[in-house]
Amino acid sequence: MTKKYDAIIIGAGHNGLTNAAYLAKAGLNVLVLEKNAYIGGATVSRELYPNWKYSNCSYVCSLLRPEIIRDLELPRHGLQVVPYGGGVTFKENGDYYGNHADHERLLREVARHSKRDASAYERYEADVMKQTRLIRPFLMRTPPDPTSLKPRDLKELAVLAKSFGSMGEEGLADTMRFWTMSIGDFLDEYFESDVIKAHLAGSGIIGTALGVYSPGTAYVLLHHYMGDVDGSVGAWGFARGGMGSVAAALSKSFQSFGGTIQCGAEVDQIIVKNGKAKGVALANGDELHADIVVSNLDPKRTFLKIMDEGDLPADVVTKAKNFKIRGSSGKLNIALDGLPTFTGLPKESPLCLGEKHFSDSLPKMERAYDDWKAETWSKDPYVDMLIPTQIDPTMAPPGKHMMSVFVQYAPPKVNGGDWTAEDKAGFEKTVLDQISNFSPDFKDLILHCETRTPKDIEDEVGLTEGNIFMGELTFDQLLFNRPFPGYAQYRGPVKGMYMCSSGTHPGGGVMAAPGANAAREILMDLKLNNTVPGGYDDD
């Protein structure tokens, strides 16, 4: 069976759907193929326990570009992002650090741990904000090719140079430091309190196979700070109904432009003829044809699994093999019979609405990374735990709760072998034990627990090694180096073949920017009118 489309997008994750929506909006006949029986990729909510919805991959929302939300009318299609504030890092000694949403309250809490740090916190905030302001305007732009003499690349390079220039001498020096330093070294320059450093450092390692003292992790923190909820930069929120509602709204928007989504359709191969993409062959043997084929799979999966090496330049194959996309995290999704109590923290505290962590020092977090290097899960992991049902009533029955536990670190292989059922049980127990150390009634409230190792995430979602960003967010793999030098403008090595995943600029975190930016390039190549909005001006 063959059928011809204008464009085929492989993978109904948020970037694939975004890309598809913009191509369909431009008038193309677009098909999105999804291997699973449901859409969303890692932007998904599933009912794995009756009446409970789990956002069982991505779980919070901040980076999703407001330009896209507005332009694709996602609110009309059902998307609502509700900000949450605050957070807690529990200390071993029974105390905790409360990261209050209210600024003055936050500073008083910082001062409780160190008066000097309260003053340093304001400097830290301003410095982080300076750097996010440098990056934010480039999220909705295609990275320039620094070696190209094309007018467009020269213009974009000039924009880049101007932005750097406007940072001033000290700001620019800070930029270099931010992009290269470890988050541990960086925070050590501001703060003296262990727990405050530990609380802030989490954003530097999430989803990254690096430790708090590994160079490059300071940028990963910036990546988590450059989003916003309604202009409040650095704020995070819950997508009401779970992260699946992001994919649902995108799919409705796409379908409103006439697009088609086909689930349960795993792509086996991108068909290339005479150096041109011609369509895809499905695992079931079907062939679907289009002159535009867009891969929303990560670069490794794209070039090493669904393309024939013979169709590709040798350097691309090598670069794909070398692409760093290491599995480093796992996830527990838990249905709770009620709201657990945390020692020392009143249930009414506004801090309860935010994220909870149980690692109170950088050395502890570094040791968690040591376990990963030794090819096992962290014995005292860094977790990012949230109970979204305190804010979002749609995820569980009234009075019941859903807990999302992101766990760092979990290796792609355990001691060189695949994860066994025993390993998985051990991993799960480690995490549940850690939480129950701070919440005595937690274990008794558990109705159901879904535990996901990097292997599970790879098998189900398709993310290589279960890497949530589709490639590490280190400087060597950013901007015009993402995914590889020479291929950062969303065009693949084969004519008509494109990339739109988080493995391209500006990276992962449910931004939808890669999908939109890729659509702009495709439409340009087709000489069609651009349907992709430009970025908002920050000033």
Partner 1 sequence: MIPHDETMILETPFYSRCLAACEINLWEDWKGYRSAQAYTSVEQEYFAVRSNTGVFDISPMIKYRFIGPDAGAYLNRLLTRDISKIAIDRVAYTVWCDDEGQVMDDGTIFHLGENDYRLCAYARCLDWLMWSAEGFDVTIFDETADIAALAVQGPTSCAVFKNMGFTGIENLKPFGITRYPFEGSEVMISRTGFTGDLGYEIWIEPALAEAFWDQLFAAGKLRGIRAIGSAALDMLRTETGFLQAGVDFVPAEEAIRNGRSRSPFELGLGWLVSFDKPVFNGRKALLKEKKEGSRYAFVYLDVEGNKPAEHAFIYAGNKEVGTVTTAAWCPTAKSNIAFAQVDAKYGKVGQELVAEIYYERELKWTRLMAKCTVVEGAVFNPPRKRQTPAADF
- Which of 251, 217, 258 has the alpha carbon at shortest distance from 78? 251
Classified as helix, coil or strand, 81 is: strand
Closer to partner 1 by CB, 47 or 102: give it.
102
Cα four-point dihedral sign 260, 23, 252, 229: positive
3-state secondary structure of 308: coil
> How far apart are alpha carbons 327 and 411 in whole angstroms?
6
Residue 537 found at the interface with partner 1 (CB under 8 A)? no
Which CB atom, from 52 or from 90, has the smaller least distance to partner 1?
A: 90
Question: Taking the C-alpha atoms of 7, 11, 12 and 15 in order, what is their torsion angle to the nearest 10 degrees?
Answer: -80
**Counting contacts by CB under 8 A, is residue 346 touching partner 1?**
yes
Which residues are CB-contacts of 306 (< 8 A; sequence separation ≥ 6)?
A: 10, 267, 268, 269, 270, 280, 295, 297
- Return the range that interacts with partner 1 (CB under 8 A); candidates 58-66, 160-168, 175-183, 372-380: 160-168
User: Which structure tokens are listed for 42?
Assistant: 């890692």
**171 interacts with partner 1 by CB under 8 A:** yes
Q: Which stretch binds partner 1 (CB under 8 A): 111-119, 379-387, 406-414, 524-532?
A: 111-119
* 75, 258, 264, 344: residue in contact with partner 1 (rule CB under 8 A): 344
Nearest distance from C-beta of residue 234 to partner 1, angstroms? 12
105 counts as binding partner 1 under rule CB under 8 A: yes
Instruction: Choose which of 104, 230, 422, 537 interacts with partner 1 (CB under 8 A).
Output: 104
Nearest approach in angstroms of CB 89 to partner 1 is 12
Among 29, 92, 112, 363, binds partner 1 (CB under 8 A): 112
Site string for partner 1, 289-328 (x = CB under 8 A): ----------------------------------------
Least separation in angstroms between residue 238's CB and partner 1 is 23
| Calpha distance 84→404 (Å, rounded) | 14
- The nearer residue to partner 1, 230 or 348, going by C-beta atoms, is 348
One-character DSSP codes across 329-359:
EEEEEEEESSPPPBTTB-TT-GGGGSEEE--
Residue 110 to residues 342, 448, 500, Cα–Cα distance (Å):
20, 36, 41
Name the residue among 392, 401, 383 with its Cα closest to residue 341.
401
Binding residues for partner 1, how many (CB under 8 A)? 36
DSSP string, 370-425: HHHHTTS--SS-EEEEE-GGGT-TTSSSTT-EEEEEEEE---SSBTTBPPPHHHHH
User: Does 349 sit near partner 1 (CB under 8 A)?
Assistant: yes
Stretch that binds partner 1, among 49-57, 163-171, 388-396, 514-522 (CB under 8 A): 163-171
For the segment 174-193, give every residue that binds partner 1 (CB under 8 A).
Answer: 190
User: Which CB sits closer to partner 1, 94 or 416?
Assistant: 94
In angstroms, rounded to a whole number, what is the distance separating the alpha carbons of residues 213 and 195?
A: 16
The answer to whether the beta carbons of residues 8 and 16 sit under 8 Å apart is no
Q: Which stretch binds partner 1 (CB under 8 A): 98-106, 220-228, 374-382, 419-427?
A: 98-106
Q: Binding residues for partner 1, per CB under 8 A?
A: 93-96, 98, 102, 104-105, 107-109, 111-113, 115-120, 122-123, 126, 129-130, 133, 166-168, 170-171, 190, 344, 346, 349, 539
